Chain A
Amino acid sequence: MLNIFCVARDTVGEMKNKYIKYLSIPVTAAILLTACSNSSETSESSDSSSEITLYSERSKDLIQPVIDQYEQETGNKVDVRYGDSGELAMLINEEGDKTPADVFLSKTPGSIGVLEQNGHLTTLEEPTLALTPKKVQDVEGLWVGISGRQRVLVYNSELVETNDLPETIYDLTKPEWKGKVGIAPNNGSFRDFVTAMRSSVGEETTAEWLKSLAENEPLTYPKNGVIVDAVGIGEVEVGLVNHYYNFRELVENPEHKGLNYQFPAEDPGSFLMVSAAGKLKASDNQDEADELIEWLLGETAQRYFADETFEYPLAEGIDPAENVPAAIFSDVSDIDYQALGDGLAETEKMILDAGLRE
């Protein structure tokens, strides 16, 4: 036995002489990187201010500026981990109570719904909850809406007359819209919209609508942004997307031909997707977490969401950006993912059964 170790040691010893030349630089770099990455781009944390971790399913381009401002104003430090819709919720699920996250910021209701369902969240404080209308926060106070993204119908202004626009979402299954509607059935926001529809109008109506829609030959796309581009060039006349894509497209491309159309408030088509924040039960920094969430509902952050990303600020008393029409939507507080029984799984199944998958 000992001999084997001797051989191994000799082997490694000999090898080192040759490999040192190749390895020394990257190894030193790795050590430096490990040291650097812990402090990353922001300054070293001091003991006097707090340091919390935010898991954000909203992207870095959107959130980092807001966080930077928070750090400047309050002196608190926030480490942010970014991920795609659902991925960080998956991560927290896997991490369980060992999660380093203190606050979770969701992009779609699905993620925060799952976290709620699996018991990862804890109730928010009253002062925090008082900052938004009741209809955009969780019934039990486990999450609060920070900004809203509304489902709309984007249409090509040259191909579609305003009088021809559908009055309700059910019109899209009529013959005149055959082959003219773009949807993204694999996309998170579509799934959230269907889940909400199930809650507001019931399972049967939703299943029927999905089937009729599928029979009406919709054009399927992978993402909302791609639909908006397609509508802009006239490849498809209308599409079911989120409201802000069109505004952002217009900023980058003023020639864009797409316009948004809002369904009436009671219509399922006008679903407001709330980007919500929640506090993790496993967090050791409950007070600091509250502080961050409250700041996100403050004037600075809310104005940022309104003006930079064209989303709907959900705190009371804050208006959306100038060219964005007021959101018209119904209550989202009681869309209970738990009561819907494995909300997303059932929605998935429904979409599949309707034949909307390619």
Chain B
Amino acid sequence: MSGSSLAQYRRYNQTQMKHRIQLTLRTYGVLIACFFSLPFFYLIYRTFDAWQTQSNQLDNFSQNITNPTINTIALAISVSVFAAVLGTYLAWVTIRTNIRLKKTFTTLFIIPLAIPTYVGALGYIGSLNPQGGLIARSTSLLGVDTPTRIRGFWPALLFLVLFTYPYVFMIVRAKLKRMNPELEESGQLLGHSKFQIFTKITLPQLKASIISGALIVFLYCLSEYGAVQLLGYDTLTRVIYTNFLSNTFVSSTSSIFLAVIASLVIIYERRYGVRTTNNSDHKITESVNTNLGRFAILIYLSLLTTIIMTLVIPISSFIYWAFRGYSQANIDWIEISGLTVRTLLTGTIAGLVTMLIIVPAAQFTLHSKKFSAKTARLSILMGYATPGVVIALAIVFWNLRTPGFGWLYQTYPMLIIAYVLHFGSLGLGSAETALKAVPDSLKESARLLNSSNLQRWIKVHIPIMRPGIFSGVGLVLLATIKELPATLKLAPTGFSTLATDIFSASGEGFDAKTGVLSLILIAVSAVLTWFLVLRNQEK
């Protein structure tokens, strides 16, 4: 009698505990949704305010906005598709085949995330310069004439794919490592060809991760400005930027328009993207490593081509500039090392804080079907589609107008908050993958052995989530160290990062300094990425 009532009591207590935790999570989720929606509310306010004071700007509005909008959407979709293909291919090659130097390749495939797009674009344009550019010199050896101007849709597409595929790469890679190879093994036993195994077994399991990565790429393309502007491709962000000072109405409505496009895509992805409920992944086995065989050379060639196009070309320009003008540039190495350390530390802190905030939110958005969960997820993802300048001004607006918070204006914590707002979405994908990585079977056994939910979380869940979490920290870190508009406006006065100093030098035509600082940025990111990738290696 007492035995069964004790069991009943324990079950009842556990259910109560579960409900409490769910309620806590939900409250947290709602708060997060409000926090991440701050830029959007700011835009609404500005639009109404401008409408009342500048309503004469409405004419020509639709004419101004149609072309840029079409351009933006076309580019974003194309880039997402190609980046998804490239990222998935590279992830599969580095995890599931027996190529050599996996760690090196993996690191090299992630580093492009560290290069600010406008700097990369400048590097590319520089390499077409017949006087010193790598592309120009190499093709002239072959007797081919390359154009010196690269502008328009195709260069913009190529460029953005090369610099955003790492998002897909990292997320798919994390999933591949965790995937159960049993299904693929069964496929082999049944005599399916390698290609069939890939398309019928591997790919469906990867679908959610690929879509998650592609979504990030899509959102990024919406907010991208520096590179597309250099490559002469007219997008909605151009409308926003060039009208900010002169025509607030146009610029804030365009921003809202951008946000609407982003929302539609996010909602669409959520509805049609596969929500894998099967968590039969378990520990990493020495998985099916496909032997490359006769394709080996081709595959190595493809890897090298990617590296050449994403890294070697821009870096060659930076090296050329650095050497050409070094004597004229007054490079203060002591100042630069302080700058580097500052930048790195900021990025790391931003990464950790972001994951701290996002992981509990992800727990909520992943498992809850409530409206608040969907809104929370939407608002987090929106942060990445919002141009940095809008996020910065939104924070200025809210910071200065909320009583009691004025002293935080232009302080370090506010800057970190800006990074969290802007890059939280980068952490979300990784967090969701990490949370999904905890297999149900493990949860069951843990539940049997541990009475406390929390102990279970700490001792079992978190170690398994670690690769995903570190992946998220890495993404946010790389994004932070190259961020510009928010840093310029919100950092404490006198605080500069590698990105701001590169921007300053490149704007004034100080090529040597631009080259040196860019090389340092890339080197530092390489080291960090290597470190993060090493840490991710399974025991």
A residues sitting closer than 8 Å to B (CB atoms) are 3-4, 7-8, 10-11, 14-15, 17-19, 22-23, 26, 29-30, 33-34, 37-38, 40-42, 53, 59-62, 79-84, 86-91, 93-96, 98, 100, 110-111, 114, 186, 219-223, 225-226, 228-230, 232-233, 235, 245, 248-249, 251-253, 255, 309, 342-345, 348-349, 352, 357-358
Interface size, B (range): 35 or more
Question: B212 → chain A, closest Cβ, in Å?
Answer: 25
Set of chain A residues within 8 Å of B152, measured between Cβ atoms: 358
Q: Is the interface of B mostly helix, strand, loop or mixed?
A: helix
Set of chain B residues within 8 Å of A14, measured between Cβ atoms: 454-455, 458
Please state if A186 and B247 are interface contacts (CB–CB under 8 Å).
Answer: no
Given contacts A90-B393, A114-B246, A219-B149, 10 further A-B contacts (CB under 8 A): A33-B342, A79-B494, A80-B493, A81-B494, A222-B231, A345-B57, A348-B243, A357-B234, A358-B233, A358-B234
* B366 sits at the interface (CB 8 A): no
Question: A250 → chain B, closest Cβ, in Å?
Answer: 11
Please state if A4 and B57 are interface contacts (CB–CB under 8 Å).
Answer: no
Return the contact of A90 from the options B130, B131, B245 (Cβ within 8 A).
B245
Task: State the CA gap A62–B510 with chains docked (Å).
Answer: 10
Task: State the CA gap A121–B149 with chains docked (Å).
Answer: 42
Please state if B125 and A10 are interface contacts (CB–CB under 8 Å).
Answer: no
* B267 sits at the interface (CB 8 A): no
A interface footprint on B460-499 (CB within 8 Å = 1, 0 otherwise): 0010000000000000000000000100110111111000
Q: 3 tightest CB-CB pairs across the interface, nearest first?
A: A40-B494, A344-B246, A345-B246
* B328 sits at the interface (CB 8 A): yes
Set of chain B residues within 8 Å of A18, measured between Cβ atoms: 458, 462
Set of chain B residues within 8 Å of A352, measured between Cβ atoms: 60, 64
Question: B498 → chain A, closest Cβ, in Å?
Answer: 13
* B410 sits at the interface (CB 8 A): yes
Question: A173 → chain B, closest Cβ, in Å?
Answer: 22
11 contacts between A and B (CB under 8 A): A4-B23, A4-B24, A7-B17, A22-B352, A40-B493, A53-B493, A60-B496, A60-B504, A80-B494, A348-B242, A358-B232
Set of chain B residues within 8 Å of A343, measured between Cβ atoms: 246
Q: Which partner residue on chain A sits nearest B493 by CB separation?
A: A79
B residues sitting closer than 8 Å to A (CB atoms) are 17, 20-21, 23-24, 54, 57, 60, 64, 125, 129-131, 148-149, 151-152, 229-234, 238, 242-247, 324-325, 328, 335, 338, 342, 345-346, 348-349, 352, 356, 389, 392-393, 396-397, 400, 406, 409-413, 416, 454-455, 458, 462, 485, 488-489, 491-496, 500-501, 503-505, 507-513
Return the contact of B130 from the options A17, A81, A219, A233 (Cβ within 8 A).
A233
Please state if B64 and A358 are interface contacts (CB–CB under 8 Å).
Answer: no
Question: Given contacts A34-B413, A245-B509, A352-B64, are A61 and B246 in contact (CB under 8 A)?
Answer: no
Please state if A253 and B489 are interface contacts (CB–CB under 8 Å).
Answer: no
Please state if B489 and A91 are interface contacts (CB–CB under 8 Å).
Answer: yes
Question: A189 → chain B, closest Cβ, in Å?
Answer: 12
Task: State the CA gap A22–B247 with chains docked (Å).
Answer: 47
Please state if B489 and A86 are interface contacts (CB–CB under 8 Å).
Answer: no
Question: Given contacts A84-B507, A252-B325, A344-B245, are A37 and B412 in contact (CB under 8 A)?
Answer: yes
Set of chain A residues within 8 Å of B245, measured between Cβ atoms: 86, 89-90, 93, 110-111, 114, 344
Please state if A94 and B151 are interface contacts (CB–CB under 8 Å).
Answer: no
Please state if B513 and A30 are interface contacts (CB–CB under 8 Å).
Answer: no
Task: State the CA gap A105–B304 with chains docked (Å).
Answer: 47
Set of chain A residues within 8 Å of B348, measured between Cβ atoms: 26
Please state if A40 and B492 are interface contacts (CB–CB under 8 Å).
Answer: yes
Set of chain A residues within 8 Å of B349, measured between Cβ atoms: 26, 29-30, 33
Please state if A81 and B493 are interface contacts (CB–CB under 8 Å).
Answer: yes
Question: Given contacts A95-B396, A345-B246, are A100 and B493 in contact (CB under 8 A)?
Answer: yes
Please state if B488 and A100 are interface contacts (CB–CB under 8 Å).
Answer: no
Question: A310 → chain B, closest Cβ, in Å?
Answer: 11
Set of chain B residues within 8 Å of A253, measured between Cβ atoms: 131, 324-325
Please state if A222 and B496 are interface contacts (CB–CB under 8 Å).
Answer: no
Please state if B505 and A61 are interface contacts (CB–CB under 8 Å).
Answer: yes
Please state if A86 and B244 are interface contacts (CB–CB under 8 Å).
Answer: yes
Please state if A41 and B507 are interface contacts (CB–CB under 8 Å).
Answer: no
